[in-house]
Every structure is written in structure tokens, then in C-alpha cells.
Amino acid sequence: MLHLASKSPRRHQLLQQLGVAFDVLDVDVPEQRAAGETPQAYVSRVARDKAAAGALLVKPGGVVLGADTEVVLGDDVFGKPRDAVDAAAMLRRLSGRTHAVISTVWALGEGRQECAVCVSQVRFAALDENDIAVYVATDEPFGKAGAYAIQGRGAVLIEHLEGSYSGVMGLPLFETARLLRGFGINPPA
Ligand SMILES: Cc1cn([C@H]2C[C@H](O)[C@@H](COP(=O)(O)OP(=O)(O)OP(=O)(O)O)O2)c(=O)[nH]c1=O
């Protein structure tokens, strides 16, 4: 049995796209970057913690997926904004620049643990204060790493994407499908 340890409706929707049967586990793990932790190491640790928290809830023999997505600019990691001021500050930093979106997925099964990493580059258009205020007022930035959603109105902010659309949205499907095959779960082609 496959389990997705995630509260993110985007991840549920993306995993459904693969056509595999799964259920959803409600897990809550702290997302706090440790001093000196690289962005890649942080994303991987949080994704693994989610999968490990889920693994405590399931019967032996199951496979648990956990994922984490963060927006990274230089050494700064932008998670989900705390409030509207934080969201506007993130969008101001992303304006007119290229940032990375790192999505890591861990799969934990009996006697087997594997992870996949997906890094995409996203170039934002130059935004003025009005663009930022209008977008924040849509409420879309909340609950999204970096305060935007590629799958929503945020699409109009993105000049260029190099990488994986599903990875930016929260669950890189090519990498996840490959990971699952290693656990004997074969998404139908
Ligand atoms: C960049 C970007 C992120 N996001 C979302 C995906 C994730 O839900 C969220 C990043 O936060 P995460 O901490 O990765 O995930 P989450 O807290 O929403 O869900 P869970 O930990 O329970 O699995 O940002 C989008 O929906 N679109 C985007 O374009």
C-alpha cells in the first residue's frame, strides 16, 4: 500500500495524476532550518522527516512518501509566508531575478529508503509595488513556498521555467514515478 504523508492538496492532486492507488497521512513536522544547513540538505531533511513521521502510522509492508518544496535565492530559503508583509517581501526579492525551486521526495519502505531531488530555475518578471499588492490580495501566496503558485495566477509572474512544472508545484512526477518503480509500484504509462 502506498501512503502520501502530506497535507498539501497540490501533492494529493499531483500524485493522483500518476494513476497509482494511495491514501493520505496527516503529519506535522517542524520546518526550521538549522544553522549552517545548506538549502539542499534542509529540504531533504524535512522531506525525510515527513516520510518518517508517516511511517510511524502505517502497517509494515507499506511505502510512505514525504516531500518538501522550497524556493531558494542564493543562500536564502523562502518557505511559506507568515503573513501579507512577509509574502510581499518575498515577491519583492524574487522580482526580476532567477531563483531555484528545490523539491525533494523520500520514499520509505521496509528495508529500503530512497530519495529523488528536483531542482528547477524560475525567472520572475520585474514586479512593481502595485503588482505585488494585487497578487498578495488574491490570498494565493499563502501556504506556498516563495509566496506564489505556478499553477494559479502566479503563472503570469513567471517569464521562464527550466526544469519541472510539477516539481515547482510540489511533487516532481517524473522523479516520483521513477522512485516508486524501485519499490515495485508501477504507475501505468
Ligand atoms: C513554488 C510553489 C509552491 N507551492 C506549494 C507546494 C507546497 O504545498 C508548498 C510548500 O510547502 P511544503 O512545506 O513543501 O508543503 P506543505 O506544508 O504545503 O505540505 P506538507 O508538508 O503537508 O506536504 O508550496 C505551490 O503550490 N506552487 C508553487 O508554484
ipTM (interface predicted TM): 0.98
For residue 170, the CA-to-ligand 1 centroid distance in Å is: 5
* 116-140 pLDDT, tens digit each: 999 999 999 999 999 999 999 999 9
Any atom of ligand 1 within 6 Å of the Cβ of 49: no
Is the CB of 118 inside a 6 Å radius of any atom of ligand 1?
A: no
Interval between CA 69 and ligand 1 midpoint (Å): 6
Query: In 3D, which of 4, 9, 163 has the Cα closest to residue 71?
Result: 163
Rounded CA-CA distance 72/117 in Å is: 14
Contacts of 10 (CB under 8 A, 6+ apart): 151, 169, 170, 171
49 CA to centre of ligand 1 in angstroms: 15
The best mutation among 71, 80, 121 to test binding of ligand 1, ranked by most ligand atoms within 8 Å of the C-beta, falls on 80
**What counts of helices (H) and strands (E) characterise the chain?**
6, 7
* Digit-coded pLDDT (tens) for 51-91: 999 999 999 999 999 999 999 999 999 999 999 999 999 99
Atom of ligand 1 nearest to the CA of 29: 21
Residue type at 187 in one-letter notation: P
Residue found by looking up cell 513556498 in the block? 145
pTM passes above 0.90: yes
Sign of CA dihedral 29, 33, 36, 39: positive
3-class secondary structure for 45-76?
Answer: HHHHHHHHHHHCCCCCCCEEEEEEEEEEECCE
Percent of the chain with pLDDT over 70: 100
Distances (CA, A) of 127 to 8, 92, 119, 141, 156: 27, 7, 24, 15, 11
What nine digits make up the cell of 125? 518578471
